[in-house]
Amino acid sequence: MGRTHAQGPGGDGRSADAGDRPGVGSRIVAVLTAPLRGFRRRLEHRPRRVLTELAVAVVVCALLAGGLWGFSAMSASSAAGRADAVAAAQRTTTALLSYDPQGVNGLVDRVSGDLTEAFRTDYGTLISQVIAPATEQQQVTTEAEVVGTSVIPEETGGDRLVALLFVNQTTRAGQEGAPRIAGSRVKVTMDDVDGHWLVADVKPV
């Protein structure tokens, strides 16, 4: 006689022990839902403690998210501040190093709003005692162009930024036909005064 198999509960011809054994799908579901079942049991036995832990976790996550956002905002603000300071240094230095016999005496007045009070006084003295007399006597016209910039990080921080500018100056003297072009480097100190970047010092390097 052939071997007979017991019918399963549904009469589909499967063996009884195979039909009662959970399938792969149900085992995966059991694994995935195990943490949830554990949390439910903890919630039933110690509801106050579980809810307190949840509240603490939410607060910690919120603080971390706020801290990360604040760091990102501060970094962006610092980068934007540096860009503004370098742009102001480039613009003002170009004006300070460009002059001609007709306008040299009014140079400081034209850029006074972009200079700190101390540097305005010092540069005004330099213009009136040295640059203006030589410019008028020799009929010198000088045009400056900033062709490169960089920030000196070890001298930069807080309300101060120090930039290194690479400057080309085109100079014509008297009736000379061909202009002379000279390259130079200047270190420009910028101070943040009431939200405005002002030139506090200019030194050749």
- Residue 11 has which token pair? 């009469």
- 33 inside domain: no
Cα(10)–Cα(13) distance, rounded to whole angstroms? 8
> Other C-beta atoms within 10 Å of 129: how many?
9
**C-beta of residue 151 within 8 angstroms of C-beta of residue 162:** yes
CATH number of the domain enclosing 170? 3.10.450.230
The single-letter code of the amino acid at 68 is L
Contact, 163 vs 86, CB < 8 A?
yes
Which pLDDT band holds residue 23 (cuts at 50, 70, 90)? low
Say if 40 falls within a structural domain. Answer: no
Please provide residue 28's backbone torsions phi and psi, each rounded to the nearest 5 degrees: -65, -40
Task: Tell me, yes or no, whether 8 lies in a domain.
Answer: no
Q: What span, in angstroms and rounded, lies between the C-alpha atoms of 77 and 84?
A: 10
Average pLDDT value over all residues in the chain: 76
Q: What is the tally of structural domains in the chain? A: 1
- Residue 24 placed within a domain: no
Over residues 74-105, the pLDDT tens digits come to 333 478 889 999 999 999 999 999 999 999 99
Q: Which amino acid is at 5?
A: H
User: Confidence class of residue 179 from pLDDT cuts 50, 70 and 90?
Assistant: confident
pLDDT in tens, 27-48: 544 545 455 555 456 556 665 5
- Domain with 188, as residue range(s), is 49-204
Helix (H) and strand (E) counts for the chain?
A: 6, 4
- Domain assignment present for 16: no
